[in-house]
Amino acid sequence: MFLWRHSVPSAKRSLPLKKSKKFPGRGWDGVYTREFKIMKKNLELKVELEDFSDILQNIASLGVKEAGILYQVDKYFLIGKKRLKLRNMNGEFQLIYYSRPNTQESKLSQYYVFGFTNKQGVVIEKILNVFFAVKAVVSKKRTLYLYRHTRIHLDKVEKLGNFLELETVFDKKDPQYDFYDEHNIVINTLGLPRYKKIKSSYSDLILK
């Protein structure tokens, strides 16, 4: 098997935070999120596509079906080396703070997600606009597929074109599971090595 293993930094140990019962929010990735939660991590890969026809056939070979269509508007803020974006998605908001290297190969992303209702998100956006400059705004239509621990995103991004993103989410409840192997299986089943790999985020691409 063609392996895409990489040397990636281990995640910093995080102290568990108390769950908030006052402001629950539901994430569209199928995971129930709350206002405060510990850091998560996943393996990510992005490739550029001319269209989705060939990829859709390969996705079908994984035995997965479409899990949903998400309309996302991501506002990226300038905060230094780290990354911060506020996502407006199907009427709900997520504040996402993350760290990820810009490399073409699969890379480790470490992140926090904070979920908000629409009313809360509007207030958060106003506060962020006061304290931080806006780097970029990215709008996209995302078609979501789920394979075990891996999210497959078919993204149609305004002003940029068509892309596929993989996110293999590490589950701390299953420490013996080989998430790298699952990531490689999806890469090879979808035939991704023959496509152009993209190292940058959409916010960086839209500024070029």
Phi, psi of 127 (to 5 degrees): -65, -45
Q: Is 126 a domain residue?
A: yes
- Residue 78: domain span: 24-207
* Residue 37: predicted pLDDT: 56
Query: Is 10 a domain residue?
Result: no
> Does residue 120 lie within any of the structural domains?
yes
Give the residue among 188, 172, 170, 189 at the shortest CA–CA distance from 180: 170
Cα three-residue angle 167-179-16, rounded to 5 degrees: 80
pLDDT score, position 24: 39
Look at residue 9 and tell me if it is in a domain: no
pLDDT at 63: 94
Total residues belonging to the chain: 208
Using an 8 Å Cβ cutoff, are 186 and 152 in contact? yes
Residue 114 burial (C-beta neighbours within 10 Å; 0-12, 13-18, 19+): buried
CA distance 107 to 128: 28
Q: Work out how many domains the chain is built from and give that number.
A: 1
CATH code, 41: 2.40.320.10
Cα 80 off chain centre by: 20
Residue ranges, the chain, pLDDT below 50 = 1-36
- Res 203: pLDDT: 97
Does residue 4 lie in a domain region? no
- Residue 5 falls inside a structural domain: no
Domain assignment present for 101: yes
Position 26 scores a pLDDT of: 41
**Residue 48 belongs to some domain of the structure:** yes
pLDDT tens column, 42-76? 999 999 999 999 999 999 999 999 999 999 999 99
